[in-house]
Amino acid sequence: MFLLKKIYRFFFNLYRAFLVWRIKRTVARHEGHIYVGGYTELSPYTHLAAHVSFNGMRVFGRGKVSIGRYFHSGIECMIQTSIHNFDTGSAIPYDNTEIIKDVTIEDFVWLGSRVTILGGVTIGEGAIVQAGAVVVKNVPKYAIVGGSPATVFKYRDIEHFEQLKREQKFH
């Protein structure tokens, strides 16, 4: 039994290393440690800071996605940076052109599972996005948001957050 666990652990770690390697080859830029714990597919327009953790993320579209340090995602999260031109296009329901909008996720952001983020959004430092939320507008620093569309329902203890940041107590 011990040997089987060791073999399993070896192949599991090899698989995770492959996932990280694939992401590093795909993205436009990466700065450091990347953790991949679930199916993750990022676009070539994605820029990653150090110490990012994906437990399941898909990025669609041609807009730039910037993800800050110590980012964490839950499972089955999605970022959409391009949409069809339905409003001023040359055909109905939409034409062949795209509307492209960038997404910025600042440092220390945590996304719950099944979060959807639409283009043109900035999620501020230290924000938490509740599971299942649909983010369609900017999220302020330290805010805790949820719902569809996501709205602020609370803020983190900013003083405590800043103290932990000064002490470099990161996870």
Domains of the chain: 2-82+98-166 (2.160.10.10)
With contact defined as beta carbons under 8 Å apart, do 144 and 154 qualify?
yes
What is the predicted pLDDT for the residue at 54? Answer: 95
- Between 47 and 94, the higher pLDDT residue: 47
pLDDT surpassing 90 at residue 16: no
Cα–Cα distance, 109 to 70 (Å, whole number): 7
Cα–Cα distance, 27 to 24 (Å, whole number): 6
Residue 107, sorted as left (phi over 0), alpha (psi -120 to 50) or beta, turns out to be beta
How confident is the model over 7-34, as a mean pLDDT?
90
Residue 25 confidence class, pLDDT cut points 50, 70, 90: very high
pTM of the model: 0.91
pLDDT surpassing 80 at residue 1: no
What is the predicted pLDDT for the residue at 71? Answer: 97
With contact defined as beta carbons under 8 Å apart, do 90 and 73 qualify?
no
How confident is the model over 75-99, as a mean pLDDT?
90
What is the predicted pLDDT for the residue at 113? Answer: 97
